Amino acid sequence: MILTIDIGNSDTVLGIYKNDKMLDHWRVSTDYKKTVDEYGILFNNLFSFDDVKIDQIDGIIISSVVPQVVRILEKTTIRYFDLKPIIVGPGIKTGMNIRMEDPREVGADRIVNAVAGYQKFGGPLIIVDFGTATTFCYISKTGDYEGGAIAPGIGVATDSLFKHASKLPRVELKRPDLAIGKNTVSGTQSGIFYGFMGQVEKLISKFKEEIDGNPIVIATGGYSELFGSEIESIDHILPFLTLDGLYYLAKLNEIKQDG
């Protein structure tokens, strides 16, 4: 079995794969204050729901945008799993050319998404990751990572709104019944939801203007199911694209599985 771990700024998503199938997945808060032993207990508790034992894990691969947590989890996997994880970064095999001015600037999660998307659909591709930041990535027909855009995620944007507009109440993030709100709550929900949709649709449209060919558009990340079904230009909603990409990279970098 392969344990895949994607550490984001807000959430950490984990998945267990066996023979090319995801057995289960979990989403927990990213917490750099947790100790090695606390993470060890967390893994053991999560695995118990599927009757998976720690010693059944053959390999571990991690992508992260939070370096402090990587260091803690690396110590955790060595102590509790007796395994040194693969960390997505310079030197790892990806099979993808990064055509950026400085390839080291590209977040590990974006590369993993790009690899997974290209393996599933070929190119050209646009991948929209609805996370703490909303990232847009373009992968060419030949499988090169060509660049992208980064915008504030909806959680960050709404938190900032409520922080700086003290009279606005915090509202549930959902699709409103009408764009024209009849009260402060419905009006705020409309502005947040449809305003964010407009941002995503506009960036996808601008990408398509600059791309040779008709790209497939994939949505992934924590809010992908909420918004992906509302945006017509999105072709596929794959919430666990990053975990699939990590599993592919684990095999590409020759993590072996028993059985």
Query: What's the token pair of residue 37?
Result: 């032993």
Instruction: Evaluate whether 2-87 and 103-239 have a shared fold.
Output: yes
Written out in words, the top-level CATH class of the domain with range 2-87 is alpha beta
172 burial type by CB count under 10 A (0-12 exposed, 13-18 middle, 19+ buried): exposed
- Cite the active site residues: 109
Coil, strand or helix: which one is 64? strand
Written out in words, the top-level CATH class of the domain with range 103-239 is alpha beta
List per-residue pLDDT tens for the chain, 259 residues long.
Answer: 999 999 988 899 999 999 999 999 999 999 989 999 999 999 999 999 889 999 999 999 999 989 899 999 999 999 999 999 999 988 889 999 999 999 888 989 999 999 999 999 999 999 999 988 999 999 999 999 999 999 998 888 888 888 878 778 888 888 888 999 999 899 999 998 999 999 999 999 999 999 988 999 999 998 899 899 899 999 999 999 999 999 999 999 877 666 4
Question: What is the 8-class DSSP label of residue 98?
Answer: B
Burial string for 94-121 (b: 16+ CB within 10 Å, else e) reads beeebeeeeeeebbbbbbbbbbbbbbbb
Domain-by-domain residue ranges, the chain? 2-87, 103-239
Helix, strand, coil fractions of the chain, as percent rounded to 5: 40, 25, 35
Alpha carbons 145 and 94: distance in angstroms, whole number = 11
Query: What's the token pair of residue 46?
Result: 């999560």
